[in-house]
Amino acid sequence: MDENPFEKYGLDPREGVVAITQRLKELAEDATTDAERDRIRAAWEELTLHPARRLRAALHAHPETRAPLGLPPSLPRHRVLTTELELRDLAARPSALAALPVVIAPAELRAHGASDVDAPPLDDDPHL
């Protein structure tokens, strides 16, 4: 099953040829092998030199309807613990807990974790 170039290289079809070129240029510069660079070049030609093929690829690319991610949390150089942590602060969120293997999330922990807790980001974990 061929991968759609818009999906494979994280391109938004609506941004036009200039944005596609810019993004693929960056990817080509970061590519570590000639084969990968050739694939990127082929995708660039496919998407920029043939409007009909670009349209077709766009129609076959899932639209981006996921919520924007925003920026990752900043990592402070010196960690300062400003609040007292309780057990509930260490409990994972239910959906994250459900994804953990049973050995990592035993029943008693899951029973606690399944309650309405706000899990702290890992950066705030005093044990890390």
Partner 1 sequence: MWRPEDEALLGRLEDEVVLERLFRHHVGTLAERALPHPRAAGLVASARHVTDGYIAVQAALDGDVKPLARVIEAAPMRDRPADLLHHVALYYGRVASTLEGVAPDAAANAWMRSLAAWLALGEERTYLGRLEEAILGNEARRKPGLAKKPSAIAPERVPLEMVADLGKRAEATARDLAAPGRAALLALAWVGEAARIAGASPETTKRAQQAAERQRNAALDAAVAVIGEALDEANARGELTTAGRSILQRTLQVWAWSGQDEAVEQFLVDRLATIGWELYRARSWDTLRATFEPFRAMIESFAQRVERDPSRIAFAAPCAQMFVFLTDIENVPLRKRELAERAVHLCPTHRNGRLNLAALLVDEASAAMGGMIVFARRDDVERVEALLKRAETLYPQTGDLPGAKAMLERVKRGRIAL
Q: In the complex, which residues of this chain contact partner 1 (CB under 8 A)?
A: 1, 3-4, 7-8, 13-14, 16-17, 50-52, 54-56, 58-73, 93, 95-96, 98-99, 118-121, 124
Cα–Cα distance measured from residue 4 to residue 13, given in angstroms and rounded to the nearest whole number: 11
What is the DSSP secondary structure assignment for residue 78, as one 8-state letter?
A: S
- Which string of DSSP letters, residue by residue, matches 107-121? HHHHHHHTSS--PPP
Smallest separation (angstroms) from partner 1 to the CB of 24:
16
Q: Which is nearer to partner 1, 68 or 101 (CB)?
A: 68
Cα–Cα–Cα angle for 57, 2, 9, nearest 5°? Answer: 60
Torsion sign, CA atoms 71, 74, 75, 81: negative
Q: Which is nearer to partner 1, 34 or 59 (CB)?
A: 59
Q: Which is nearer to partner 1, 29 or 71 (CB)?
A: 71
Smallest separation (angstroms) from partner 1 to the CB of 34:
25
